[in-house]
Amino acid sequence: MLRVAVVGSGPSGCYTAQSLVERDPEVHVDVLDRLPCPFGLVRYGVAPDHEKIKSLQGNLRTVLEHDRVRFLGGVQVGGPDGLPVERLREMYHAVVYCVGAATDRHLGIPGEELPGSWSATEFVSWYSAHPDAGDEGFLRDVRSAVVIGVGNVAVDVARMLVRGAGELRPTDMPQGALDALAASAVTDVHMVGRRGPTQARFTTKELRELGGLPRTRVTVDPADLALDPAFADLSALPAAQRRNAEVLRGWAEAPHEDTERRIDLRFFRRPVEILAENGRVGAVRFERTAPDGHGGVTGTGRYEDVPAQLVLRSVGYRGVALEGLPFDAAAGTVPNTEGRILRDGTASPGEYVSGWIKRGPTGVIGTNRPCAKETVTSLLADAPALASREVPQDPLPALRAAGIDPVPWPGWLAIERAESELGARLGRNVVKLADWDTLLGAARAN
Ligand code: NAP
């Protein structure tokens, strides 16, 4: 029998556990998570109005309910209060780290830390009820918002900023975020890319959705499209970029109509400074850029200020070093070969990675399946050597001895019940619990 710990219960952790138990009838897997709730970014990153993607939780749930898989929530690995990596390693034949990319990339420009300037991750965590997120008054006195970056997260936050109460109420968004978004006075959201429209990272389905939002018009300046050399012949572009370009061209050519809210997509503008007004964000200064002919851009020395009371920096996630594991700070990943963690260039027996901490924060949820499969192939090839090491029959007593009292699967089910009850009390569907005390209270009351 092989005992494996998977650290992280997001898509990459669940797909890793699934691949392990499907491919080896002798494997038992504990899926550990810092939070008492499973599913990682499917619960705390996928936008609440994307019910179809959120329904993937059903598939991940099946994995965690497998009879050779056990969910153990509330287990922090690494860090000052966490279980040391070395200790965890002693408890299992193998450990697979699927800890994702827990923080955001920084712009490194003046004004980035001004009140009113937030990472998209902070904003997403708030409306997704992440227990570490605070109600920062994101929308207070905001009429105009700037979203920096043109990836799918930027599209998500732009969309959430213009959604109305009627559309948000059926979601599982916490009541505080729903009330704040419903009362929001935001009329203009400017989503700004530093390169050209055909280099944007959003996918067509997500982009197109912006055009169908009630009371909202999407505006695109035809001059931004004309500046992109690829627009001269869209047929030469790869299909995904061509589809994006066609959607953008449709908006650029659409007749102007008056709407309550606007999403303004701009390109060829590089953020250089966030400007203050009365000690808070007042505008973002962009340098106009021009294509350099190789997919990049060069500065033109011309600047433009876009007024905004809220800035959401949506320029990608970043992996965080886990104490006791090697880390490539430039890439934000754990060095590995086919999922085997490399210590000083050599594969470390019994230590693996999968998901964003292995390959960086790119790809959709499904990308984690082949990624997990590759790591599991490496692990199972190593299994004969790993299984010869003595490990505890059941690591739970050792975890408890280390001062950790994990939240088991029934604890999570109790949280789910509490969220249904809260929804019923508020006259809504399921409503997420948004703070540590309430989550743990519900879990322990089961
Ligand atoms: P992303 O796709 O990497 O996009 C990041 C954006 O930030 C790019 O437009 C990038 O521009 C820009 N950027 C980076 N550094 C910048 C800087 N210093 N100044 C200005 N702009 C800068 O990241 P993401 O949007 O966070 O998404 C992460 C992953 O999750 C992606 O794979 C995404 O598809 C996925 N996701 C999927 C969905 C969905 O399927 N519905 C939803 C959310 C997220 P450059 O290209 O010029 O670097």
What CATH number does the domain containing 340 carry? Answer: 3.40.50.720
Integer angstrom CA distances of residue 224 from 35, 153, 236: 44, 22, 19
- pLDDT for the residue numbered 345: 95
- CA 241 to centroid of ligand 1, rounded, Å: 15
In the chain, which stretches have pLDDT less than 50? Answer: none
The residue written with tokens 């213009």 in the block is 162
Same domain, 373 and 349: yes
Same domain, 274 and 328: no
- pLDDT for the residue numbered 129: 98
Neighbours of 83 (CB within 10 A): 21
- To test ligand 1's pocket by mutation, which of 315, 357, 368 has the most ligand atoms within 8 angstroms of CB? 315
d(CA 353, CA 355): 7
Same domain, 228 and 290: yes
Kindly state whether residue 167 falls inside one of the protein's structural domains. yes
- Judge contact between 137 and 122, C-beta under 8 A: no
Integer angstrom CA distances of residue 115 from 167, 274, 277, 280, 379: 29, 11, 10, 5, 46
Classify the phi-psi angles of 379: left when phi > 0, otherwise alpha if psi is within -120 to 50, otherwise beta: alpha
Boundary of a domain, candidates 262, 297, 313: 313
Kindly state whether residue 184 falls inside one of the protein's structural domains. yes
Boundary of a domain, candidates 279, 296, 313: 313
Q: Are strands 407-408 and 69-73 parallel, antiparallel or unpaired?
A: antiparallel
Same domain, 191 and 277: yes
d(CA 158, CA 292): 28
Same domain, 246 and 125: yes
Same domain, 53 and 202: no
Same domain, 95 and 176: no
Same domain, 371 and 401: yes
- CA 119 to centroid of ligand 1, rounded, Å: 12
Same domain, 363 and 330: yes
Q: Are strands 27-32 and 2-7 parallel, antiparallel or unpaired?
A: parallel
- pLDDT for the residue numbered 37: 98
Q: Whose CA is nearest to atom 2 of ligand 1?
A: 151
- pLDDT for the residue numbered 135: 86
| Structural domain total, the chain | 2
Q: Which of 110, 122, 132, 198 is nearest to 153 (CA)?
A: 122
150 lines ligand 1 (CB under 6 A): yes
d(CA 36, CA 407): 6
- pLDDT for the residue numbered 5: 98
Kindly state whether residue 84 falls inside one of the protein's structural domains. yes
364 lines ligand 1 (CB under 6 A): yes
- pLDDT for the residue numbered 257: 87
Sign of CA dihedral 221, 227, 228, 231: positive
- pLDDT for the residue numbered 80: 87
Kindly state whether residue 324 falls inside one of the protein's structural domains. yes
Kindly state whether residue 206 falls inside one of the protein's structural domains. yes
148 lines ligand 1 (CB under 6 A): yes
The CATH number assigned to the domain holding 149 equals: 3.50.50.60
* CA atoms within a 13 Å half-sphere pointing along the CA-CB vector of 435: 7
Kindly state whether residue 444 falls inside one of the protein's structural domains. no
Q: Whose CA is nearest to atom 14 of ligand 1?
A: 315
175 lines ligand 1 (CB under 6 A): no
- To test ligand 1's pocket by mutation, which of 153, 210, 294 has the most ligand atoms within 8 angstroms of CB? 153
Kindly state whether residue 91 falls inside one of the protein's structural domains. yes
- CA 154 to centroid of ligand 1, rounded, Å: 7
d(CA 440, CA 120): 26
- pLDDT for the residue numbered 119: 97
- pLDDT for the residue numbered 394: 92
- Judge contact between 23 and 415, C-beta under 8 A: no
Same domain, 118 and 30: no
156 lines ligand 1 (CB under 6 A): yes
Boundary of a domain, candidates 287, 313, 339: 313
- CA 316 to centroid of ligand 1, rounded, Å: 5
Kindly state whether residue 441 falls inside one of the protein's structural domains. no
Query: Which residue range forms the structural domain that includes residue 330?
Result: 3-102+319-405
For residue range 67-124, what is the model confidence (pLDDT) as tens digits? 999 999 999 999 888 999 999 999 999 999 999 999 999 999 999 999 999 999 999 9
d(CA 361, CA 86): 26
Same domain, 269 and 384: no
- pLDDT for the residue numbered 97: 98
Same domain, 180 and 122: yes
Q: Whose CA is nearest to atom 33 of ligand 1?
A: 152
